[in-house]
Structure 1
Amino acid sequence: MKALVLKRYGRPDQVALTEMPRPALKPDDILVEVHAAGLNPIDTMIPKGTFKPILKLDLPATLGSDLAGVVVEVGRQVTRFKPGDAVFASIFDLSGTGALAEFACVPENAAALKPANLDFVQAASIPMVGLTSWQALKERAHLKPGQKVFIPAGSGGIGTFAIQLAKYLGTKVGTTTSTGNVDLVRSLGADEVVDYKRLQFEDVLTDYDAVLGTVRGDAIEKSLRILKPGSTIVSLVGPPDAAFARARGMNFVMKFLFGLLSRKIIRGARTRGAAYSFLFVRPDGGQLAEIGKLLEAERIRPVIDKIFPFDRAKEALAYLEQGRAKGKVVVQMR
């Protein structure tokens, strides 16, 4: 089968479309013929070695996190799916397989039936941004109706989904975007929109209950100024904290290192009466099924910027890395 494969860390020429053996099916796996794969920023960072201390890949490794396709075979322990089922899944952080391939093995507990009203490209755009938003806003921030959440970079892949989920949860949403994307984020439900080319969000927004950290640099520290006591910061971009290292079963050195890295922001959050945590999304088919219900009910809609054919998958990653996509970038296999 064809797959986009990482052969060695650190060099662009070490990522290429390559013929690979079809992945071996485990007893609790489903084998999916991939119709489309959604791209995420982490897919551009893994080849650089950014996540080597966290993600243990056996090279050469197939890249890609999110997929939608059709089940062609099931393991002997699988009970929820059968050949012919249309499914979508995130296989991020699951060793041994990747989404940017003609076929992928997916653990049964990571998959969900594809929403009937979405095509494969739309479905492939959802898993990681959907699960990340769900785990951040529902599990960590415990958002309640009437609260206010700040979701910066509202026109990006995470932002376009998280704004919609936050509105479904009954909250008021503040976001940042460029002048040309103001109408887009308002159409998704954003209540307070700051054009970052004209204003600083920390000078405009006040009394927020939660922040979803999606922008690198000093944005998280600046967001402390808009929070009220009892608020929550959930960061997707770091710094990682000691709790994350413990949850991943890392050694003492990594726990100590991540504790040092996060000490400043944790201390700053405490001075505002806020709590800080770092979130590394986990695959979860049950949560994805719940997200699927919202998509079928049209409470949330996919936002797709650009679709690339499979033979231009490497170009798709380069396009995503520019950081200008409005919504998601998807690779279409068939």
Structure 2
Amino acid sequence: MNRRSCIFQNESRQKHRYHEHEQLKDNRKKGLKVMAKIFISGEIPEIGYELLSGHQFDVYRGETLITEEELIAGVRDVDALLCPLSTKVTRKVIESAPNLQIIANFGAGFDNIDIAAAKEKGIPVTNTPGVSTEATAELALGLMLAIMRRIPEGDLLCRTKGFNGWAPLFFLGRELTNKKLGIVGFGHIGQAVAKRAKAFGMDIYYTGRGKKSAAIEAQYDAQYLEFAELIRTCDVISVHSAFNKDTHHLFTKETFAAMKEDAFFLNLSRGPVVKEADLALALQAGDIAGAAIDVYEFEPKITEELKVLDNVVITPHIGNATVEARNEMAKLSVQNILRVLEHERALTPVY
């Protein structure tokens, strides 16, 4: 049996990588018309499949990320592609799908898709902005507490070395209260972080593409600073910016050297915003006090030096990994597909 025939067998959900949803089989038995062919390049919440009831769709269920070869085979004759943020939709993939009418990205970002190639082919690209704001902001505060109060480090100590009793100088961390929080990227997520940080008694500063309105600044009691001033003066830097040519490697050894030695750094935006090797060196040298990272420059690969440092907390890109957020992302992705297939404008087009 060749690789292609092995990949596309659909008889068993457990044994094979692709599975035709049971609802489609029921529809065929009932003689119902299958309206469109859709390929989903990674498993999504059940609500997404339910909304696609009546359409023909295959789901990639591999234990590893889908390869370009497998993706090309999957999209060859489909009308729509629903792809998680981890799926790389290259020009080669797009050009191999002559019937493709929409690429619906399951995620707020879309740097995994060759937008120029999609534009050339007239294929709409959509994403899922807004629905993951609260979950990501919650994680930001969780990571802030984790690194500043040394929570994972304390958990590990109790499990391995043992807790020998309370002492005045034992396991000291830093409080969030009265600290200056510098938010890089003051969009929906940045503002949601500010709302929560304000409740902890933090002073809010932000930087980005420009100064926000007086109303927004008043709402979060936030003050605009130029980037250089923000990283030089703030106690905590939390990154929530979009990823583009201007933010690629925004944080390098020079940036970390300009920060306060007792500052903490968080990145919940995109991995390539940070030059990861430089971050590891800054942490090793004591240029900054600590870091908490949820996204990685060469994701899913994580720089080995980060894994062994006590002053860094690393999480596996779980910013919006809540049941609530992922369900909303699934619904929005599918709604975009259905609207485009019905010749209506998508709800959240990228361009």
Q: State the TM bucket, normalised to the shorter chain.
A: 0.3 to 0.5
Structure number with greater CO (CA < 8 Å, separation at least 6) is 1
The structure carrying a bigger strand percent of its residues is: 1
Of structures 1 and 2, the larger Rg is shown by 2
TM-score, with structure 2 as normaliser: 0.41
TM-score, with structure 1 as normaliser: 0.42
